[in-house]
Chains A and B, each alone.
Chain A
Amino acid sequence: MTIKYLGNASEGDLPPLKIPYFLDRIPAGWPSPADDYVEHPIDLNEYLIKNPAATHFVRVSGDSMINACIGDGAILVVDKSIEARHKNIVIADIDGSYACKRLLTRPKICLASENDKYNKIFIKENESLEIYGVVIAAINIIK
Protein backbone atom coordinates (compact mmCIF):
# COMPACT_ATOMS: atom_id res chain seq x y z
CA MET A 1 0.00 0.00 0.00
CA THR A 2 1.30 3.48 -0.79
CA ILE A 3 0.54 6.46 1.36
CA LYS A 4 0.37 10.02 0.11
CA TYR A 5 1.10 12.73 2.64
CA LEU A 6 -1.47 15.50 2.33
CA GLY A 7 -0.43 17.76 5.19
CA ASN A 8 -1.10 18.41 8.84
CA ALA A 9 -4.53 18.95 10.30
CA SER A 10 -5.37 22.51 11.33
CA GLU A 11 -4.37 24.13 14.58
CA GLY A 12 -5.16 27.48 16.07
CA ASP A 13 -7.45 29.95 14.43
CA LEU A 14 -8.50 28.17 11.28
CA PRO A 15 -12.15 27.17 11.14
CA PRO A 16 -12.72 23.48 11.79
CA LEU A 17 -12.36 21.00 8.98
CA LYS A 18 -10.03 23.12 6.87
CA ILE A 19 -6.72 21.41 6.48
CA PRO A 20 -3.99 23.63 4.97
CA TYR A 21 -2.32 21.96 2.07
CA PHE A 22 1.34 22.99 1.71
CA LEU A 23 3.49 21.79 -1.11
CA ASP A 24 6.62 22.04 0.92
CA ARG A 25 7.85 22.30 4.50
CA ILE A 26 8.47 25.83 5.72
CA PRO A 27 11.98 26.67 6.95
CA ALA A 28 11.75 28.67 10.17
CA GLY A 29 12.96 32.24 10.21
CA TRP A 30 13.14 32.57 6.43
CA PRO A 31 10.39 33.59 4.03
CA SER A 32 9.01 30.41 2.61
CA PRO A 33 9.79 29.84 -1.05
CA ALA A 34 6.58 27.83 -1.07
CA ASP A 35 4.37 30.73 0.01
CA ASP A 36 3.10 31.39 -3.46
CA TYR A 37 2.14 27.77 -3.88
CA VAL A 38 -0.22 27.43 -0.92
CA GLU A 39 -3.41 26.01 -2.32
CA HIS A 40 -6.97 25.94 -1.04
CA PRO A 41 -7.31 24.09 2.24
CA ILE A 42 -8.76 20.65 1.87
CA ASP A 43 -12.27 20.55 3.19
CA LEU A 44 -13.72 17.21 4.26
CA ASN A 45 -17.21 18.68 3.95
CA GLU A 46 -16.58 19.31 0.29
CA TYR A 47 -15.39 15.74 -0.18
CA LEU A 48 -18.21 14.05 1.73
CA ILE A 49 -21.19 16.30 1.12
CA LYS A 50 -22.59 16.95 -2.32
CA ASN A 51 -25.92 18.43 -1.29
CA PRO A 52 -25.84 20.07 2.15
CA ALA A 53 -29.59 20.76 2.30
CA ALA A 54 -30.37 17.06 1.96
CA THR A 55 -27.49 15.53 3.89
CA HIS A 56 -27.74 14.17 7.43
CA PHE A 57 -25.36 12.29 9.69
CA VAL A 58 -26.59 9.23 11.55
CA ARG A 59 -24.81 6.91 13.94
CA VAL A 60 -24.74 3.12 13.58
CA SER A 61 -25.48 0.82 16.47
CA GLY A 62 -24.71 -2.87 16.08
CA ASP A 63 -22.80 -5.10 13.68
CA SER A 64 -25.37 -5.92 11.02
CA MET A 65 -23.40 -4.09 8.27
CA ILE A 66 -19.92 -5.12 9.35
CA ASN A 67 -19.00 -6.76 6.03
CA ALA A 68 -19.56 -3.43 4.29
CA CYS A 69 -16.99 -1.81 6.60
CA ILE A 70 -19.75 -0.20 8.67
CA GLY A 71 -19.02 -1.03 12.28
CA ASP A 72 -20.69 -0.26 15.56
CA GLY A 73 -20.47 3.51 16.23
CA ALA A 74 -19.68 4.51 12.65
CA ILE A 75 -21.12 7.78 11.42
CA LEU A 76 -22.90 7.57 8.09
CA VAL A 77 -23.32 10.40 5.63
CA VAL A 78 -26.83 10.09 4.25
CA ASP A 79 -28.05 11.98 1.19
CA LYS A 80 -31.82 12.18 0.96
CA SER A 81 -31.86 13.71 -2.51
CA ILE A 82 -30.48 10.59 -4.22
CA GLU A 83 -32.93 8.04 -5.55
CA ALA A 84 -32.13 4.61 -4.11
CA ARG A 85 -31.10 1.92 -6.60
CA HIS A 86 -30.24 -1.76 -6.59
CA LYS A 87 -27.29 -2.54 -4.26
CA ASN A 88 -27.23 0.92 -2.63
CA ILE A 89 -26.80 0.99 1.12
CA VAL A 90 -29.81 2.86 2.45
CA ILE A 91 -31.52 3.99 5.62
CA ALA A 92 -34.99 2.46 5.55
CA ASP A 93 -38.02 2.42 7.79
CA ILE A 94 -38.38 -1.06 9.27
CA ASP A 95 -41.40 -1.37 11.55
CA GLY A 96 -41.29 2.24 12.64
CA SER A 97 -37.59 2.69 13.17
CA TYR A 98 -34.77 3.56 10.81
CA ALA A 99 -32.18 0.88 9.99
CA CYS A 100 -29.17 0.68 7.72
CA LYS A 101 -29.40 -2.10 5.10
CA ARG A 102 -28.39 -2.89 1.54
CA LEU A 103 -31.29 -2.48 -0.86
CA LEU A 104 -31.68 -5.28 -3.40
CA THR A 105 -34.36 -4.80 -6.03
CA ARG A 106 -33.63 -8.04 -7.89
CA PRO A 107 -34.80 -10.75 -7.99
CA LYS A 108 -37.19 -9.65 -5.30
CA ILE A 109 -37.16 -6.37 -3.34
CA CYS A 110 -35.46 -6.92 -0.02
CA LEU A 111 -33.24 -5.30 2.59
CA ALA A 112 -30.10 -7.30 3.28
CA SER A 113 -27.64 -7.07 6.16
CA GLU A 114 -23.92 -7.40 5.59
CA ASN A 115 -23.55 -10.02 8.27
CA ASP A 116 -24.53 -13.71 7.96
CA LYS A 117 -26.10 -13.63 11.40
CA TYR A 118 -29.07 -11.68 10.07
CA ASN A 119 -31.75 -12.73 7.58
CA LYS A 120 -32.89 -10.71 4.62
CA ILE A 121 -36.07 -8.74 5.07
CA PHE A 122 -38.40 -9.21 2.10
CA ILE A 123 -40.95 -6.58 1.24
CA LYS A 124 -44.33 -8.11 0.51
CA GLU A 125 -46.35 -6.91 -2.40
CA ASN A 126 -48.91 -4.94 -0.45
CA GLU A 127 -46.32 -3.43 1.87
CA SER A 128 -44.67 -0.10 1.18
CA LEU A 129 -40.98 0.48 1.65
CA GLU A 130 -39.95 3.92 2.83
CA ILE A 131 -36.35 4.88 2.15
CA TYR A 132 -35.08 7.75 4.29
CA GLY A 133 -31.93 8.27 2.25
CA VAL A 134 -28.94 6.73 0.54
CA VAL A 135 -25.69 6.22 2.47
CA ILE A 136 -22.83 7.82 0.56
CA ALA A 137 -20.01 7.44 3.08
CA ALA A 138 -19.17 5.78 6.36
CA ILE A 139 -16.81 7.36 8.85
CA ASN A 140 -15.11 4.96 11.23
CA ILE A 141 -12.93 6.44 13.93
CA ILE A 142 -10.18 3.88 14.33
CA LYS A 143 -8.15 5.35 17.14
Chain B
Amino acid sequence: MTYALVDCNSFYASCERVFRPDLKNRPIVVLSNNDGCVVALSKEAKGIGVKMCEPWFKIKNSFTSQGGVAFSSNYELYADISSRVMQTLEHSAPKIEIYSIDEAFLDLGGINHCTDLEKFGYECQEKVKQWTGMPVRVGIGPTKTLAKAASYGAKKYTGTGGVVDLSEKRRQRRLLSIMPIEEIWGVGSRLKKHLNRMGITTALELADTDTKLIRRRFSIVLERTVMELRGHPCIGLEEHPATKKEIVVSRTFSQKVTTLESINEAVSDYAARASEKLRRENQYCRVVSVFARTNPFRLQDQQYSNILSCKLNLPTNDTRDILHTTKMLSRRVYKKGYNFIKAGVMLSDFYDKGVYQSDFFIPNSKRPKSEKLMKMIDKINANGKNKITFAAQGIRKPWSMQRHFQSPKYTTNWDDLLIVK
Protein backbone atom coordinates (compact mmCIF):
# COMPACT_ATOMS: atom_id res chain seq x y z
CA MET B 1 0.00 0.00 0.00
CA THR B 2 1.12 3.52 -0.72
CA TYR B 3 -0.88 6.64 -0.01
CA ALA B 4 -0.27 10.31 -0.66
CA LEU B 5 -1.92 13.21 1.09
CA VAL B 6 -2.12 16.32 -1.07
CA ASP B 7 -2.80 19.38 1.03
CA CYS B 8 -3.24 22.95 -0.28
CA ASN B 9 -1.02 25.60 1.29
CA SER B 10 -3.11 28.27 3.09
CA PHE B 11 -6.01 27.32 0.83
CA TYR B 12 -8.35 30.32 1.16
CA ALA B 13 -5.54 32.85 0.96
CA SER B 14 -4.05 31.05 -2.05
CA CYS B 15 -7.45 31.07 -3.82
CA GLU B 16 -7.52 34.85 -3.49
CA ARG B 17 -4.12 34.97 -5.19
CA VAL B 18 -5.03 32.92 -8.26
CA PHE B 19 -6.50 35.92 -10.08
CA ARG B 20 -4.40 38.60 -8.42
CA PRO B 21 -0.72 38.47 -9.40
CA ASP B 22 -0.15 41.69 -7.46
CA LEU B 23 -0.78 39.82 -4.20
CA LYS B 24 2.25 37.59 -4.58
CA ASN B 25 4.29 37.64 -1.36
CA ARG B 26 1.86 40.02 0.33
CA PRO B 27 0.21 39.18 3.64
CA ILE B 28 -3.39 38.02 3.12
CA VAL B 29 -6.10 37.23 5.65
CA VAL B 30 -9.58 35.87 5.01
CA LEU B 31 -12.28 36.91 7.45
CA SER B 32 -15.20 34.98 8.88
CA ASN B 33 -18.83 35.78 8.09
CA ASN B 34 -19.65 39.40 8.91
CA ASP B 35 -15.91 40.11 8.70
CA GLY B 36 -15.57 39.21 12.38
CA CYS B 37 -12.26 37.45 12.77
CA VAL B 38 -9.41 35.85 10.86
CA VAL B 39 -10.25 32.35 9.59
CA ALA B 40 -7.35 31.89 7.19
CA LEU B 41 -4.02 33.54 6.65
CA SER B 42 -1.08 33.36 4.28
CA LYS B 43 2.39 32.57 5.56
CA GLU B 44 3.36 36.22 5.06
CA ALA B 45 0.50 37.22 7.39
CA LYS B 46 1.71 34.66 9.91
CA GLY B 47 5.16 36.18 9.46
CA ILE B 48 4.01 39.60 10.66
CA GLY B 49 2.40 38.06 13.73
CA VAL B 50 -1.25 37.63 12.76
CA LYS B 51 -2.90 34.72 14.53
CA MET B 52 -5.83 32.52 13.58
CA CYS B 53 -9.20 33.61 15.06
CA GLU B 54 -7.97 37.10 15.95
CA PRO B 55 -10.75 39.70 15.76
CA TRP B 56 -10.38 41.84 12.64
CA PHE B 57 -10.97 45.17 14.39
CA LYS B 58 -7.98 44.51 16.66
CA ILE B 59 -5.43 43.94 13.88
CA LYS B 60 -6.98 46.08 11.12
CA ASN B 61 -4.75 49.15 11.44
CA SER B 62 -1.39 47.50 11.94
CA PHE B 63 -2.15 44.82 9.34
CA THR B 64 -3.11 47.20 6.54
CA SER B 65 -0.26 49.59 7.34
CA GLN B 66 2.13 46.69 6.78
CA GLY B 67 0.74 46.11 3.29
CA GLY B 68 -1.70 43.36 4.25
CA VAL B 69 -4.87 42.70 2.28
CA ALA B 70 -8.08 41.36 3.86
CA PHE B 71 -10.88 39.48 2.13
CA SER B 72 -14.36 38.47 3.22
CA SER B 73 -14.86 34.77 2.68
CA ASN B 74 -15.80 33.99 -0.93
CA TYR B 75 -17.00 30.41 -0.67
CA GLU B 76 -18.21 30.30 -4.28
CA LEU B 77 -14.64 30.89 -5.45
CA TYR B 78 -13.10 28.48 -2.91
CA ALA B 79 -15.50 25.68 -3.83
CA ASP B 80 -14.74 26.08 -7.53
CA ILE B 81 -10.96 26.13 -7.08
CA SER B 82 -11.22 23.13 -4.76
CA SER B 83 -13.10 21.13 -7.38
CA ARG B 84 -10.49 22.07 -9.98
CA VAL B 85 -7.69 20.88 -7.70
CA MET B 86 -9.53 17.58 -7.09
CA GLN B 87 -10.14 17.08 -10.83
CA THR B 88 -6.47 17.66 -11.51
CA LEU B 89 -5.53 15.07 -8.87
CA GLU B 90 -7.88 12.58 -10.51
CA HIS B 91 -5.66 12.90 -13.58
CA SER B 92 -2.63 11.96 -11.49
CA ALA B 93 -3.77 8.91 -9.54
CA PRO B 94 -6.16 6.02 -10.15
CA LYS B 95 -8.13 6.53 -6.94
CA ILE B 96 -8.64 9.58 -4.77
CA GLU B 97 -10.57 10.37 -1.61
CA ILE B 98 -11.61 14.00 -1.20
CA TYR B 99 -10.99 14.44 2.50
CA SER B 100 -11.87 18.11 2.90
CA ILE B 101 -12.13 21.28 0.83
CA ASP B 102 -8.34 21.48 0.62
CA GLU B 103 -7.04 17.92 1.15
CA ALA B 104 -7.24 14.63 -0.73
CA PHE B 105 -5.75 11.19 -0.24
CA LEU B 106 -4.43 9.45 -3.34
CA ASP B 107 -4.02 5.71 -3.64
CA LEU B 108 -0.62 5.28 -5.25
CA GLY B 109 -0.85 1.49 -5.48
CA GLY B 110 1.09 0.48 -8.57
CA ILE B 111 2.64 3.87 -9.15
CA ASN B 112 5.61 3.03 -6.95
CA HIS B 113 6.57 0.35 -9.46
CA CYS B 114 6.69 2.79 -12.37
CA THR B 115 8.30 5.86 -10.90
CA ASP B 116 10.19 7.20 -7.95
CA LEU B 117 7.57 8.34 -5.41
CA GLU B 118 9.35 11.55 -4.48
CA LYS B 119 9.56 12.42 -8.17
CA PHE B 120 5.86 11.65 -8.50
CA GLY B 121 5.19 14.03 -5.61
CA TYR B 122 7.07 16.90 -7.25
CA GLU B 123 5.33 16.26 -10.58
CA CYS B 124 1.95 16.22 -8.90
CA GLN B 125 2.76 19.48 -7.11
CA GLU B 126 3.91 21.07 -10.35
CA LYS B 127 0.83 19.94 -12.25
CA VAL B 128 -1.65 21.27 -9.68
CA LYS B 129 0.24 24.57 -9.58
CA GLN B 130 0.24 24.87 -13.37
CA TRP B 131 -3.37 23.83 -13.94
CA THR B 132 -5.05 25.60 -11.06
CA GLY B 133 -2.55 28.08 -9.62
CA MET B 134 -2.79 26.38 -6.22
CA PRO B 135 0.40 25.60 -4.27
CA VAL B 136 0.22 22.20 -2.57
CA ARG B 137 2.40 19.92 -0.49
CA VAL B 138 2.50 16.16 -0.87
CA GLY B 139 3.09 13.64 1.90
CA ILE B 140 3.67 10.02 0.93
CA GLY B 141 3.63 6.93 3.13
CA PRO B 142 2.55 3.30 3.40
CA THR B 143 -0.53 4.25 5.47
CA LYS B 144 -2.89 7.21 5.50
CA THR B 145 -1.69 8.22 8.97
CA LEU B 146 1.94 8.22 7.80
CA ALA B 147 0.99 10.15 4.64
CA LYS B 148 -0.57 12.76 6.94
CA ALA B 149 2.60 12.78 9.05
CA ALA B 150 4.68 13.24 5.89
CA SER B 151 2.53 16.21 4.94
CA TYR B 152 3.18 17.69 8.40
CA GLY B 153 6.89 17.26 7.73
CA ALA B 154 6.56 18.93 4.33
CA LYS B 155 4.85 21.91 5.95
CA LYS B 156 7.20 22.21 8.89
CA TYR B 157 10.46 21.89 6.99
CA THR B 158 10.59 24.18 3.97
CA GLY B 159 13.83 22.54 2.82
CA THR B 160 11.74 19.60 1.61
CA GLY B 161 10.23 21.73 -1.17
CA GLY B 162 6.81 20.60 0.00
CA VAL B 163 7.24 16.91 -0.77
CA VAL B 164 8.12 14.21 1.79
CA ASP B 165 8.23 10.50 1.09
CA LEU B 166 8.08 8.28 4.18
CA SER B 167 8.32 4.94 2.41
CA GLU B 168 11.50 4.07 4.26
CA LYS B 169 11.24 2.86 7.85
CA ARG B 170 14.29 4.89 8.87
CA ARG B 171 12.79 8.15 7.62
CA GLN B 172 9.44 7.35 9.26
CA ARG B 173 11.07 6.94 12.66
CA ARG B 174 13.19 10.04 12.27
CA LEU B 175 10.19 12.26 11.53
CA LEU B 176 7.95 10.65 14.15
CA SER B 177 10.62 11.19 16.81
CA ILE B 178 10.35 14.98 16.37
CA MET B 179 6.60 15.11 15.81
CA PRO B 180 4.43 16.10 18.78
CA ILE B 181 1.54 13.64 19.30
CA GLU B 182 -1.16 16.28 18.84
CA GLU B 183 -0.03 16.56 15.20
CA ILE B 184 -0.94 12.93 14.53
CA TRP B 185 -4.07 12.38 12.47
CA GLY B 186 -6.89 11.54 14.88
CA VAL B 187 -5.19 12.63 18.11
CA GLY B 188 -6.95 15.64 19.60
CA SER B 189 -6.23 17.82 22.59
CA ARG B 190 -8.15 15.53 24.96
CA LEU B 191 -6.15 12.44 23.97
CA LYS B 192 -2.98 14.48 24.12
CA LYS B 193 -3.54 15.21 27.80
CA HIS B 194 -4.13 11.54 28.64
CA LEU B 195 -1.14 10.37 26.62
CA ASN B 196 1.14 13.05 28.07
CA ARG B 197 0.21 11.82 31.53
CA MET B 198 1.45 8.38 30.46
CA GLY B 199 4.72 10.01 29.41
CA ILE B 200 4.00 9.82 25.70
CA THR B 201 4.81 13.11 23.98
CA THR B 202 6.16 12.27 20.52
CA ALA B 203 4.59 10.32 17.70
CA LEU B 204 7.41 7.79 17.87
CA GLU B 205 6.72 7.07 21.55
CA LEU B 206 3.09 6.41 20.66
CA ALA B 207 4.10 4.16 17.76
CA ASP B 208 6.26 2.11 20.15
CA THR B 209 3.56 1.72 22.81
CA ASP B 210 1.99 -1.72 23.27
CA THR B 211 -1.19 -1.90 21.17
CA LYS B 212 -3.01 -4.02 23.75
CA LEU B 213 -2.41 -1.38 26.39
CA ILE B 214 -3.67 1.32 24.03
CA ARG B 215 -6.80 -0.62 23.26
CA ARG B 216 -7.49 -1.28 26.93
CA ARG B 217 -6.83 2.30 28.07
CA PHE B 218 -8.32 4.12 25.07
CA SER B 219 -10.07 2.57 22.10
CA ILE B 220 -9.71 0.41 19.05
CA VAL B 221 -9.57 3.62 17.03
CA LEU B 222 -6.35 4.74 18.71
CA GLU B 223 -4.96 1.22 18.43
CA ARG B 224 -5.48 1.50 14.69
CA THR B 225 -3.60 4.80 14.69
CA VAL B 226 -0.66 3.08 16.42
CA MET B 227 -0.69 0.28 13.85
CA GLU B 228 -0.78 2.84 11.06
CA LEU B 229 2.15 4.75 12.57
CA ARG B 230 4.11 1.47 12.47
CA GLY B 231 3.34 1.18 8.77
CA HIS B 232 0.49 -1.37 8.86
CA PRO B 233 -2.43 -0.01 6.84
CA CYS B 234 -5.73 -0.19 8.75
CA ILE B 235 -7.70 2.65 7.21
CA GLY B 236 -8.64 2.35 3.55
CA LEU B 237 -9.54 4.92 0.97
CA GLU B 238 -13.15 6.12 1.06
CA GLU B 239 -13.98 6.98 -2.50
CA HIS B 240 -17.68 7.63 -2.09
CA PRO B 241 -18.75 10.26 0.38
CA ALA B 242 -21.19 8.90 2.95
CA THR B 243 -24.73 10.20 2.65
CA LYS B 244 -25.43 13.09 4.96
CA LYS B 245 -27.13 12.41 8.28
CA GLU B 246 -28.13 15.98 8.95
CA ILE B 247 -28.14 19.40 7.33
CA VAL B 248 -27.46 22.54 9.33
CA VAL B 249 -27.80 26.08 8.04
CA SER B 250 -26.94 28.77 10.54
CA ARG B 251 -25.40 32.22 10.37
CA THR B 252 -24.29 34.94 12.70
CA PHE B 253 -26.34 38.10 12.26
CA SER B 254 -24.66 41.27 11.07
CA GLN B 255 -26.35 43.15 13.93
CA LYS B 256 -28.11 42.09 17.08
CA VAL B 257 -31.66 40.94 16.46
CA THR B 258 -34.35 41.47 19.07
CA THR B 259 -37.75 41.05 17.41
CA LEU B 260 -39.67 37.87 16.68
CA GLU B 261 -40.33 39.09 13.13
CA SER B 262 -36.62 39.29 12.32
CA ILE B 263 -35.87 35.93 13.94
CA ASN B 264 -38.73 34.41 11.98
CA GLU B 265 -37.46 35.91 8.76
CA ALA B 266 -33.88 34.73 9.29
CA VAL B 267 -34.95 31.24 10.36
CA SER B 268 -37.27 30.98 7.33
CA ASP B 269 -34.41 32.01 5.05
CA TYR B 270 -32.14 29.32 6.52
CA ALA B 271 -34.97 26.79 6.34
CA ALA B 272 -35.48 27.45 2.63
CA ARG B 273 -31.75 27.01 2.04
CA ALA B 274 -31.66 23.81 4.11
CA SER B 275 -34.64 22.37 2.18
CA GLU B 276 -32.85 23.09 -1.07
CA LYS B 277 -29.78 21.22 0.17
CA LEU B 278 -31.98 18.34 1.32
CA ARG B 279 -33.49 18.00 -2.14
CA ARG B 280 -30.05 18.08 -3.71
CA GLU B 281 -29.22 15.01 -1.60
CA ASN B 282 -32.47 13.39 -2.79
CA GLN B 283 -33.52 12.90 0.82
CA TYR B 284 -36.65 13.50 2.90
CA CYS B 285 -36.39 14.59 6.55
CA ARG B 286 -38.64 13.89 9.46
CA VAL B 287 -37.09 15.96 12.24
CA VAL B 288 -36.81 19.74 12.03
CA SER B 289 -34.99 21.80 14.68
CA VAL B 290 -34.53 25.51 15.25
CA PHE B 291 -31.95 27.09 17.52
CA ALA B 292 -31.04 30.62 18.54
CA ARG B 293 -28.60 32.18 20.94
CA THR B 294 -27.33 35.46 22.31
CA ASN B 295 -23.75 36.73 22.06
CA PRO B 296 -21.61 35.21 24.85
CA PHE B 297 -18.93 37.87 24.26
CA ARG B 298 -21.30 40.65 25.25
CA LEU B 299 -20.89 40.20 28.98
CA GLN B 300 -23.28 43.05 29.74
CA ASP B 301 -26.14 41.15 28.04
CA GLN B 302 -28.49 38.60 29.55
CA GLN B 303 -27.56 35.23 28.02
CA TYR B 304 -29.96 32.72 26.50
CA SER B 305 -29.67 29.81 24.14
CA ASN B 306 -32.21 27.21 23.12
CA ILE B 307 -32.98 24.51 20.58
CA LEU B 308 -36.35 22.95 19.85
CA SER B 309 -37.16 20.05 17.56
CA CYS B 310 -40.30 18.71 16.00
CA LYS B 311 -40.96 15.27 14.54
CA LEU B 312 -43.22 15.39 11.50
CA ASN B 313 -45.89 12.84 10.71
CA LEU B 314 -44.34 12.13 7.36
CA PRO B 315 -40.86 12.78 5.99
CA THR B 316 -40.80 15.76 3.64
CA ASN B 317 -38.54 17.87 1.48
CA ASP B 318 -41.16 20.44 0.56
CA THR B 319 -39.99 23.93 1.58
CA ARG B 320 -43.57 24.82 2.57
CA ASP B 321 -43.79 22.00 5.13
CA ILE B 322 -40.42 22.87 6.56
CA LEU B 323 -41.19 26.60 6.72
CA HIS B 324 -44.44 25.86 8.48
CA THR B 325 -42.59 23.82 11.11
CA THR B 326 -39.67 26.20 11.62
CA LYS B 327 -42.07 29.10 12.07
CA MET B 328 -43.86 27.28 14.82
CA LEU B 329 -40.54 26.37 16.45
CA SER B 330 -38.94 29.79 16.19
CA ARG B 331 -41.96 31.33 17.90
CA ARG B 332 -41.20 29.10 20.86
CA VAL B 333 -37.44 29.44 20.83
CA TYR B 334 -37.71 33.24 20.74
CA LYS B 335 -37.79 35.13 24.03
CA LYS B 336 -38.48 38.79 24.39
CA GLY B 337 -35.80 41.07 25.80
CA TYR B 338 -32.72 39.24 24.55
CA ASN B 339 -30.19 40.35 21.94
CA PHE B 340 -29.89 37.43 19.55
CA ILE B 341 -26.68 37.04 17.54
CA LYS B 342 -27.16 33.71 15.83
CA ALA B 343 -29.93 31.36 14.75
CA GLY B 344 -30.08 28.23 12.69
CA VAL B 345 -32.09 25.36 11.29
CA MET B 346 -31.22 21.68 11.42
CA LEU B 347 -32.87 18.93 9.40
CA SER B 348 -32.33 15.30 10.44
CA ASP B 349 -33.76 11.77 10.45
CA PHE B 350 -33.45 11.30 6.70
CA TYR B 351 -35.32 8.88 4.47
CA ASP B 352 -34.93 7.91 0.84
CA LYS B 353 -37.90 8.61 -1.39
CA GLY B 354 -40.84 6.38 -0.55
CA VAL B 355 -38.97 4.46 2.16
CA TYR B 356 -40.90 5.01 5.38
CA GLN B 357 -43.72 3.50 7.36
CA SER B 358 -46.86 5.56 6.98
CA ASP B 359 -49.31 5.87 9.85
CA PHE B 360 -52.70 4.23 9.60
CA PHE B 361 -54.41 7.01 11.53
CA ILE B 362 -52.76 9.91 9.77
CA PRO B 363 -53.99 10.60 6.27
CA ASN B 364 -51.33 10.54 3.61
CA SER B 365 -51.99 14.18 2.91
CA LYS B 366 -49.08 14.87 0.63
CA ARG B 367 -49.32 18.15 -1.16
CA PRO B 368 -50.20 17.48 -4.77
CA LYS B 369 -47.53 18.40 -7.30
CA SER B 370 -45.07 19.13 -4.46
CA GLU B 371 -42.23 17.44 -6.27
CA LYS B 372 -42.84 19.34 -9.49
CA LEU B 373 -43.09 22.70 -7.76
CA MET B 374 -39.90 22.19 -5.75
CA LYS B 375 -38.05 21.06 -8.84
CA MET B 376 -39.16 24.22 -10.63
CA ILE B 377 -38.08 26.47 -7.74
CA ASP B 378 -34.69 24.77 -7.59
CA LYS B 379 -34.28 25.15 -11.33
CA ILE B 380 -35.06 28.85 -11.30
CA ASN B 381 -32.66 29.38 -8.40
CA ALA B 382 -30.01 27.08 -9.83
CA ASN B 383 -27.53 29.85 -10.57
CA GLY B 384 -27.41 30.80 -6.89
CA LYS B 385 -29.08 34.16 -7.36
CA ASN B 386 -32.30 33.29 -5.46
CA LYS B 387 -34.60 34.75 -8.08
CA ILE B 388 -37.65 33.25 -6.44
CA THR B 389 -38.15 33.06 -2.67
CA PHE B 390 -40.91 32.54 -0.15
CA ALA B 391 -42.28 35.75 1.33
CA ALA B 392 -41.38 34.49 4.81
CA GLN B 393 -37.70 34.74 3.89
CA GLY B 394 -37.91 38.52 3.94
CA ILE B 395 -36.79 41.05 1.39
CA ARG B 396 -34.43 43.59 2.91
CA LYS B 397 -32.87 41.16 5.35
CA PRO B 398 -31.08 43.70 7.57
CA TRP B 399 -29.79 40.81 9.69
CA SER B 400 -28.01 39.10 6.80
CA MET B 401 -24.30 38.65 6.57
CA GLN B 402 -22.04 41.50 5.65
CA ARG B 403 -19.05 40.84 3.50
CA HIS B 404 -17.43 44.14 2.72
CA PHE B 405 -14.16 42.89 1.28
CA GLN B 406 -15.33 40.08 -0.96
CA SER B 407 -13.37 39.37 -4.12
CA PRO B 408 -15.24 38.82 -7.42
CA LYS B 409 -16.71 35.38 -8.13
CA TYR B 410 -14.22 34.97 -10.98
CA THR B 411 -15.23 31.47 -11.97
CA THR B 412 -18.94 31.22 -11.21
CA ASN B 413 -20.44 34.52 -12.38
CA TRP B 414 -20.29 35.95 -15.92
CA ASP B 415 -20.33 39.49 -14.54
CA ASP B 416 -17.30 38.82 -12.36
CA LEU B 417 -14.84 37.48 -14.94
CA LEU B 418 -11.23 38.54 -14.63
CA ILE B 419 -10.61 41.60 -16.82
CA VAL B 420 -7.45 41.58 -18.92
CA LYS B 421 -6.12 44.52 -20.92
Dominant SS at the A interface?
A: strand
Tell me which residues across on chain B come within 8 A of A98, comparing CB atoms: 19, 21, 418, 420
Chain A interface bracket (under 10, 10 to 19, 20 to 34, 35 or more): 20 to 34
Known: A52-B87, A96-B21. A59 touches B131 (CB 8 A): no
Per-residue CB contact flags for chain B residues 380-421 toward chain A (1 = under 8 Å, else 0) read 000000000000000000000000000000110010011111
Instruction: Encode A93-107 as 1/0 by CB contact (under 8 A) with B.
Output: 100111110000000
- Whether B21 and A59, one on each chain, are in contact in the complex, defined by CB atoms closer than 8 angstroms, is no
Contacts A52-B87, A54-B88, A97-B21 known; A75 to B421 CB distance under 8 Å? Answer: no
What are the residues of chain A within 8 A of B87 when measuring CB–CB?
52-53
* Cα(A51)–Cα(B88), bound, Å: 9
Question: Is B115 positioned at the interface, with any CB of A under 8 Å from its CB?
Answer: no
| Interface class of chain B by DSSP | helix
B410 and A61 form a contact (CB under 8 A): no
Cα-based distance from A76 to B420 in the complex (angstroms): 10
Q: Which residues of chain B are within 8 angstroms of A91 by Cβ–Cβ distance?
A: 420
B131, closest chain A residue (CB)? A54
Known A-B contacts A96-B22, A98-B21; the reply to A75 vs B417 at CB < 8 A is yes
Mark A53-68 against chain B: 1 for CB-CB distance below 8 A, else 0.
1101111111010000
B21 touches A51 (CB 8 A): no
> Do A58 and B421 have beta carbons less than 8 Å apart?
no
CB < 8 Å neighbour of B21 from A60, A76, A130: A130
Q: Which of A54, A58, A60 has the most CB of B within 10 A?
A: A54
Cα–Cα, bound, A58→B410 (Å): 8
Chain B residues 61 to 89 lying within 8 A of chain A, measured CB to CB, are 83-84, 87-88
Q: Which residues of A contact B130 (CB under 8 A)?
A: 54, 80-81
Contacts of B21 in A (CB 8 A): 93, 96-98, 130, 132
Q: Mark B127-153, 1 if CB is under 8 A from A, else 0.
A: 000111100000000000000000000
List, in ascending order, chain A residues with CB within 8 A of B421's CB: 60-62, 64, 97, 99-100
Q: Please, which residues of chain A bring their CB within 8 A of the CB of B132?
A: 53-54, 80
Give CA–CA (A51, B130) in the complex, Å.
13
Given contact pairs A52-B87, A81-B130, A99 touches B418 in the complex (Cβ within 8 A): no
Q: How far is the CA of A30 from the CA of B421 in the complex (A)?
A: 54
Known: A93-B21, A97-B21, A97-B22. A53 touches B131 (CB 8 A): yes
Contact residues in A for B420 (Cβ distance below 8 Å): 58-61, 76, 91, 98-100
Q: Which residues, 11 to 41 on A, are CB-close (under 8 Å) to B? A: none
Q: Which residues of B contact A64 (CB under 8 A)?
A: 421
Closest to B19 in A: A98
**Distance, CA A115 to CA B418, complexed state (A):** 22
Q: Is there contact, CB below 8 Å, between A61 and B131? A: no
Residue of B with least CB distance to A13:
B379
Q: Which residues of B contact A100 (CB under 8 A)?
A: 420-421
Q: In the complex, are the beta carbons of B419 and A80 less than 8 A apart?
A: no
A81 to B, closest residue via Cβ: B131
Contact across chains for B417 and A57 when beta carbons are under 8 A apart: yes
A99 contact set on B, CB distance < 8 A = 420-421
Bits for A118-143, please: 1 = Cβ < 8 Å to B, else 0.
00000000000010100000000000
- A91 CA to B87 CA, complexed, in Å: 22
Other A-B contacts than A58-B420, A80-B131, A81-B130, 8 sampled, CB-CB below 8 A, are A54-B131, A57-B417, A60-B419, A60-B420, A91-B420, A96-B21, A97-B21, A100-B421
What are 19 A-B contacts defined by CB distance under 8 Å? A51-B131, A53-B131, A54-B131, A56-B418, A59-B418, A59-B419, A60-B419, A61-B421, A75-B417, A76-B420, A80-B132, A81-B130, A93-B21, A98-B21, A98-B418, A99-B420, A99-B421, A100-B421, A132-B133
Question: Which residue numbers of B lie inside 8 Å of A, CB to CB?
Answer: 19, 21-22, 83-84, 87-88, 91, 130-133, 410-411, 414, 417-421
The 8 A-B pairs of least Cβ separation, nearest first, read A96-B22, A53-B87, A54-B131, A93-B21, A59-B417, A58-B418, A100-B420, A53-B84
